Structure 1
Amino acid sequence: MYQALYFLEYGSPIWRSRKECLIQDQASYCTLRSTSLAFHFFAWLYFDRHGRSWLIDTGCTDSIARAFGKRVNITIPILIEINFGLRAAEIDNVILTHLHYDHAGNIKPFESAHFYVQEDEWSHINSPPLGKHKGDEFYIETTLRDLKKLIGEKRITLLNGSAKLADDISVIPLPGHSPGLQGVRVNLPHGPAVLASDSAHLLNNLETGSPFPKSFDINKGVESINILRLLESEGNTIIPGHGLPLRLPIGAHLVRSGSLVKT
């Protein structure tokens, strides 16, 4: 189980048009309307060389998913307990790549974990003008309330940029889709992998250099994709936030359960 990464798919993929996923396809939508892309919903669980557990993102609850026109039949805490025999309260650490509902919408069950968030992301969810930027609709009051509780309990570290959290795990700022989005770099048996989260929702974003249309800052999104491309050229496997790599690296495993569908 050491140095192992698990893709926790808490719902079946939905299908989105290229226009919904790639900014460069906005103008050429008329020629691409029949093309659709599989859009998965993941959190990730990593066990480092010392056996410590690191959950990357928490997914969301069914009630929150329904508020966004979707449905979740299994949550991340239940998926972890079924597959690993671990209760949510036994998870050691949680890294939130960013604070959108589908990545940080189920914080409460992880009542013993220490959390890591970029300070830019925390500042944005607290900012009075929240709602005027593209993508701001993905932030929810539940996440803000749970984060404030973590701060009161001193169970959260607000990061300022890149940071090494342990021997096998570090974070990399990849803003654009949100102001404080961070990727997570983990060591696997045959090389490192970078969980890009929503700096590259799909491999298509990485391949085309085109960010997701609903982004806080498109230019920063392009810069983050270029960082990912450089990391890939240096031997890192890039894991998109809502998709799968062409092949899973050694030490990575897909855990499928539940369903999430458009309603």
Structure 2
Amino acid sequence: MSETYDVYAVQYARSQRPSRDFFMYKDPHDGPLPIFYYVWLIRNADRAIVVDMGFSAEMGKKRSREFLRCPGEGLRVLGVDPAEVETVVVTHMHYDHAGNVPLFPRATFVLQDAEMQFATGRDMRHKPMRMAFEVEDVVDLVRRNFEGRVRFVNGMEEIAPGVCVHHVGGHTRGLQAVSVETARGRLVLASDAVHFFENMTETNPFPIVADVGHMFDGYERLLRLAGDPDRLIPGHDPLVAELYPVAAGDPMIFELSKTPLRPSPLSGR
């Protein structure tokens, strides 16, 4: 019998940018929209798995993002010390997901083969392809690989009972989503396979993309995997903070394994 978990979205930063930055097909006259930055915690009595690591205050300043607090501080609110975490899933190696490697000195990092190949390969010659990567973050994970602390996967793999990673691609060549068994069914953390609910409801993808066709295919795959649109969680949507109850009395932590306070925008898709 599969284990079940509690799952949390931990916000650590936010920004407000022109809507054309978030959607491939947008009227350039549309006003600015907010974007939230999260890491995620998957936890039960036996284990704690962190999904993505966020970025640092220094990186937030460099990229003009409003840094709210260190992602590690949010994890500590939930009783998890980053220094003791043994498994970190890296959904992809963009700066806002693969920063802060030093916060996790004991962790093994779960990464798709295709993502390391992408981030260290020939595509990085081209500025538009590398713009969301930070070379030092990539090098940090290369170093952890040389230390034997990267667990490479290729496609779908169960990394713990009831927790699986799934190669989706699209946004990057090796992006992976995470499915988790919870008391309310299988939850899917889409990460940047789906930035916002609107990317799916309007079939309007985020414009940083390695393969648009794979991104559209990913929308369909993730919905099938979740089985219920209320169990698909996008990677950056501020609406997540409105749909899910606050956890641990902290206004920047949201319990995704609880029933949403109202139906997801995907419910009518």
TM-score of the pair, normalised by structure 1: 0.85
Q: How does 1:153-164 map to 2 (within 5 A)?
A: 153-164=147-158
Cα distance in 2, alignment partners of residues 248 and 188 from structure 1: 15
* Structure 2 portions without partners, runs of 5+: 254-269
Equivalent pair of 2:186/2:227 in contact (CA under 8 Å): no
Q: Are 2:15 and 2:65, in contact at CA under 8 Å, matched by a contact in 1?
A: no
Q: Deviations over 1:34-62 (max 9, x none)?
A: 3x4331100001104x4301000000111
Structure 2 letter corresponding to 1:3: Y
- Residue type of the partner of 1:217? D
Residue 256 of structure 1 deviates from its aligned partner by 3.9
Amino acid at match of 1:168: G
Residue 65 of structure 1 corresponds to which residue in structure 2? 60
Indicate which of 201, 209, 220 corresponds to 2:203: 209
Aligned equivalent of 1:3: 5
- Residue in 2 that maps onto 1:200: 194
Contact kept, 8 Å, 1:172 with 1:182, in 2: the verdict is: yes
CA contact (8 A) 1:8 1:256 kept: no
Measure the CA separation in 2 of the matches of 1:256 and 1:146.
Answer: 31
Instruction: State the one-letter code of the partner of 2:113.
Output: E
> Using the alignment, how far apart are the partners of 2:250 and 2:243 within structure 1?
15
Query: Quick one: structure 1 residues 129 and 20, their matched pair in 2 at CA, closer, same or farther if it must change by over 3 Å?
Result: closer
Partner Cα distance (1:125, 1:257) in 2 = 30
Correspondence for 1:87 among 81, 88, 91? 81
1:56 to 33, 51, 56: 51
Residue 240 of structure 1 and its aligned partner are, at CA, apart by: 0.4
- C-alpha displacement of 1:105: 0.8
The verdict on how the C-alpha distance between 1:185 and 1:130 changes in structure 2, with shifts beyond 3 A counting, is: same
Work out whether 1:75 is the aligned partner of 2:70: yes
Unmatched tracts of structure 1, length 5 or more: 259-263
Correspondence list, 1:12-31, <5 A:
13-25=14-26, 28-30=27-29
Tell me how far 1:131 sits from its aligned partner. Answer: 4.1
Give the CA deviation at 1:86. Answer: 3.0
Alignment of 1:118-129 (within 5 A): 118-129=112-123
Q: Contact 1:14/1:39 (CA < 8 Å) preserved in 2?
A: yes
Q: Aligned partner of 2:231: which letter?
A: T
In 2: Cα distance, 1:235 partner to 1:257 partner = 23
Counterpart CA distance in 2 for 1:103 and 1:219 is: 23
Distance 2:249 2:94 in 1: 23
- Identical aligned residues as a percent: 25
Amino acid paired to 2:25: Q
> Aligned letter for 1:119?
D
Cα pair 1:7 1:252 within 8 Å, conserved? no
Say if 2:52 and 2:89, in contact at 8 Å, map to a contact too.
Answer: yes
Structure 2 match to 1:43: 39
The farther-off stretch of 238-247 and 225-234 is: 225-234
Aligned residue type for 1:29:
P
